[in-house]
Amino acid sequence: MAQLACAQMPLRSLWRCRISPPSTEALRSYNQQQWRHESILGALSDIPSSYNKRIRVGRGPSSGYGKTSGRGHKGQKQHGKVPAGFEGGQTPVEKIHGERGFVNVHTKDFAIVPLTRIQSWIAQGRLASDRPITPRELIISRCVSDAKDGIKLLARSKSHDCSLNAQGPLTIPLNIVVSRASSSAIEAVEKAGGKVLTRYYTRWAMEQIVKNKMDPIQSLRSEPVDTEDMDTSKYQYRLPDATSRKAIEYYRDATHRGYLAYTVGEHEGPSLFHKPPRNITREEIEEKKRLRGTSGQVQKTKLNMDANKMW
């Protein structure tokens, strides 16, 4: 019987697998039979532990949720709900102590990138050192997992004792474009012959930059570059510029390597409000001191005393 079943197996299999019609007449008769396709969709189910059994309250003592249905005895808690924070009439703790502190809605939250991590990424072949390292490269290579409001470059362990992959001091010249950079990071990059440019980014802008819909570096107010291969028309959107005074002042500052530093005139400072202190020569200071000398002061007070005389 078993042998018979074995001998039939190829035929049965052929009959189930009706990709190409077999040519023999015997199989043709199998083909005339109908068979109903049964989809697996009705037999799908997640593993049993993914489902929780519904708790049926008030259905007898053996369930454990029988008599009081898990609500205990008497009072407001049994019959309805008690307001959140209500302590039975006693002055609630949040009323005694109140709120402390506040949430600063204007603060910018920057994602931090240590220079050592960039070094490590370059060593792993995840970042190319011969091209500008912009937020696009940093985000795509997951050097930054969440770019937040912008990317800030820090130097973290600049010379030695690097936790990441035991990188030595930075020796490769890098061209890094980020939102902010610390002075020590700028120093470390420039010492290796590279350069840092800080420029204005927003969350949305960085999303578009990753999608290659926006230029990662050049915006309308950027310093014009006279390279012919710069084709801005391939991007769908324009990179936004800093508009708030605080941001403009940051990027006008050459010590931050800001992208607007080129707009600062010869006798101007980065601030849009305060004038920079005028450069005073040593002779001028001497002259002032001489004029304001002790004899002069005495004379002045004498003069004033005379003027105040009533008699």
Partner 1 sequence: MAAQQAATSLRGVQTKCLRSMARDPLMQCLLPRFQQRNMATESSVLSTSTSSLTPFISISTPLSHRPPPPVPQILATLYTFPSMEPQSFVEYPAAHLNVPLRRDILHRAVVYEGDKARQGSANAKWRSDVHGSGRKLLPQKGTGRARVGDKKSPIRRGGGVAHGPKPRDFSTGLPKKIYDLAWRTALSYRYRRGELVVIGEMEDIDNAEPRWIEQIFDKVNFGKRDGRSLIVTGTKLPNLYAALAGTYGVGLAKTGDAIDVKDLLEMGRIVIEKQVLDSIFKKHSSDIIGTVPSAVGI
Reduced to 3 states, what is the DSSP secondary structure of residue 113? Answer: strand
Judge whether 118 and 127 are in contact, CB under 8 Å. Answer: yes
Nearer to partner 1, 43 or 310 (CB): 43
| Contact status: 24 vs partner 1 (CB under 8 A) | no
Round to whole Å and give the CA distance between 85 and 107. 31
Which pairing describes strands 175-178 and 110-114: parallel, antiparallel, or unpaired?
unpaired
Judged by phi (left if over 0) then psi (alpha if -120 to 50, else beta), residue 165 lies in left
Which window, 40-48, 80-88, 237-245, 303-311, contacts partner 1 (CB under 8 A)?
Answer: 40-48
- Which window, 139-147, 241-249, 251-259, 265-273, contacts partner 1 (CB under 8 A)? 139-147
82 binds partner 1 per the rule CB under 8 A: no
Give the 3-state secondary structure percentages of the chain, helix then strand then coil, rounded to 5.
35, 10, 50
Which range of residues in 12-20, 174-182, 222-230, 242-250 is near partner 1 by CB under 8 A? Answer: 12-20
Burial 286-299, CB ≥16 within 10 A → b, else e: eeeeeeeeeeeeee
C-alpha–C-alpha distance, residues 238 and 232, integer Å: 8
Q: How many CB atoms lie within 10 A of CB 179?
A: 24
User: Interface with partner 1 by CB under 8 A: which range of 97-105, 140-148, 200-208, 236-244?
Assistant: 140-148
Give the E-state strand segments of the chain in sequence order: 110-114, 150-154, 175-178, 180-181, 195-198, 214-219, 237-239
CB closer to partner 1, 212 vs 297? 212
Q: Cα dihedral angle (23, 24, 27, 31), rounded to 10 degrees?
A: 40
Min separation Cβ 69 and partner 1, Å = 24
Query: Closest CB to partner 1 among 132 and 169?
Result: 132
CB of 27 to partner 1, least distance (A): 11
CA separation for the pair 136, 144 (Å, rounded): 10
| Options 4, 23, 26, 41; binder of partner 1; rule CB under 8 A | 41
Q: How far is the CB of 60 from partner 1 (least distance, A)?
A: 31
43 in contact with partner 1 (CB under 8 A):
yes
Question: With binding defined as CB under 8 A, does residue 307 bind partner 1?
Answer: no
Counting contacts by CB under 8 A, is residue 35 touching partner 1? yes
Site for partner 1 in 90-129 (CB under 8 A): 124-128
- Residue whose CB is less far from partner 1, 24 or 124: 124
Contacts with partner 1 by CB under 8 A lie at 2-3, 6-7, 9-10, 13-14, 16-21, 31, 34-37, 39-41, 43-47, 50, 124-128, 136-138, 140-143
